[in-house]
């Protein structure tokens, strides 16, 4: 169902890899809601994924950009405004990577060169994206910028490794830059802390299937799916959330406020 929530709005969506990714589903929903946008990802991710297929479905153009490169981002923002015919109304940052996780390095035995690369891609890139938009005066008033986070930024999830630190950094950048973007440009900046979601990126975390099953049993409404996250993101892009900014917003079926659930307790009682 479409409500035309993004009719006449222009955006940039980072990080769509394949149809499992939240960014992909957000692009589909943004298109259905009347939004026009540019799709972007790192060149290597574009080669690995199916972003060209998404571009066809949504009538969008793809501009390759390394989100850690200020030159690439400047080019992306300039070309996006040319293609879309004006300033930007919404931006989704859906980027995260840990080489330590990918290569099985434990949190207590990090390769710090890999750690720094992961922080640059997962968190500092969000600052670079916003700084580029800010300096270029590329956002319309009442525009909306959203980045995807996870609750490991606040609580310990051992196998989430250095990505937990990256997400904490990401959320801090959202608040700090969000203040200046709100004060100076009337642009809002938020992060969404999503349930563990079966995406190509997420499946790299050790024990991920068990993790999803645990969160499902802990959450009174069950895990939020990728499409749930896409729908929530659309509301934040819309004019219905004009005064929501500097927030880390949980979209997790209630998991973040749970101590324990009956379903989880039963699993332990059965084993006694």
- pTM metric for this prediction: 0.96
The answer to whether the annotation marks 46 as part of a ligand binding site is no
Find out whether 261 and 216 touch, Cβ atoms under 8 Å.
Answer: no
Confidence (pLDDT) at 173: 98
Cα dist from 45 to 18, 52, 64, 95, whole Å: 10, 11, 9, 11
Confidence (pLDDT) at 142: 98
Q: What angle do CA 101, 104, 110 make, to 5 degrees?
A: 75
List the domains of the chain with CATH numbers. 10-269 (3.40.50.720)
Q: What is the pLDDT of residues 122-178, one digit of tens each?
A: 999 999 999 999 999 999 999 999 999 999 999 999 999 999 999 999 999 999 999
Catalytic residue among 3, 150, 214, 250: 150
Strands, E, within the chain: which ranges?
10-14, 36-40, 61-62, 88-93, 139-149, 188-194, 248-251
Q: What is the pLDDT of residues 6-25, one digit of tens each?
A: 999 999 999 999 999 999 99
* pLDDT of 120 higher than 70: yes
Burial code (b: 16+ CB inside 10 Å, e: under 16) for 148-176 equals bbbbbbbeebebbbbbbbbbbbbbbbbee
The answer to whether the annotation marks 51 as part of a ligand binding site is no
Confidence (pLDDT) at 210: 87
Q: What is the pLDDT of residues 13-56, one digit of tens each?
A: 999 999 999 999 999 999 999 999 999 999 999 998 899 999 99
The answer to whether the annotation marks 225 as part of a ligand binding site is no
The answer to whether the annotation marks 167 as part of a ligand binding site is yes
The answer to whether the annotation marks 269 as part of a ligand binding site is no
Does 150 qualify as catalytic in the annotation?
Answer: yes
Residues 6+ away with beta carbon under 8 Å from 222 = 216, 253
Does 232 qualify as catalytic in the annotation?
Answer: no
Catalytic residue among 3, 112, 134, 160: 160
* pLDDT of 234 higher than 90: yes
Query: 193: which strand partners?
Result: 149, 250
Confidence (pLDDT) at 272: 55
Q: What angle do CA 162, 168, 169 make, to 5 degrees?
A: 90
Residues 6+ away with beta carbon under 8 Å from 183 = none
């Amino acid at each position: 169902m479409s409500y035309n929530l993004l009719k006449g709005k222009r955006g940039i969506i980072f990080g769509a890899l394949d149809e499992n990714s939240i960014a992909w589903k957000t692009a589909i929903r943004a298109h259905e809601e009347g939004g026009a946008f540019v799709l972007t990802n790192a060149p290597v991710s574009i080669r690995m994924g199916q972003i060209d297929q998404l571009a066809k479905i949504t009538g969008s153009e793809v501009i390759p950009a390394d989100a850690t490169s200020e030159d690439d981002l400047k080019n992306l923002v300039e070309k996006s405004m040319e293609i879309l015919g004006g300033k930007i109304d919404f931006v989704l940052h859906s980027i995260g990577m840990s080489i330590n996780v990918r290569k099985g390095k434990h949190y207590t035995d990090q390769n710090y060169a890999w750690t720094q690369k992961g922080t640059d891609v997962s968190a500092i890139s969000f600052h670079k994206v916003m700084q580029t938009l800010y300096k270029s005066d590329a956002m319309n008033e009442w525009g909306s910028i959203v980045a995807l986070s996870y609750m490991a930024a606040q609580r310990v999830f051992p196998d989430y490794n250095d990505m937990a630190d990256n997400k904490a950094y990401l959320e801090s950048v959202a608040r700090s830059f969000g203040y200046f973007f709100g004060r100076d440009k009337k642009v809002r900046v938020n992060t969404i802390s999503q349930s563990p979601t079966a995406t190509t990126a997420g499946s790299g975390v050790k024990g991920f299937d068990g993790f999803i099953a645990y969160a499902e049993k802990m959450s009174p409404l069950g895990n939020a799916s990728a499409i749930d996250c896409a729908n929530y993101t659309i509301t934040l892009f819309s004019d219905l959330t004009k005064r929501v900014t500097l927030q880390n917003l949980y979209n997790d079926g209630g998991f973040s406020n749970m101590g324990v659930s009956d379903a989880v307790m039963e699993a332990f009682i059965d084993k006694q």
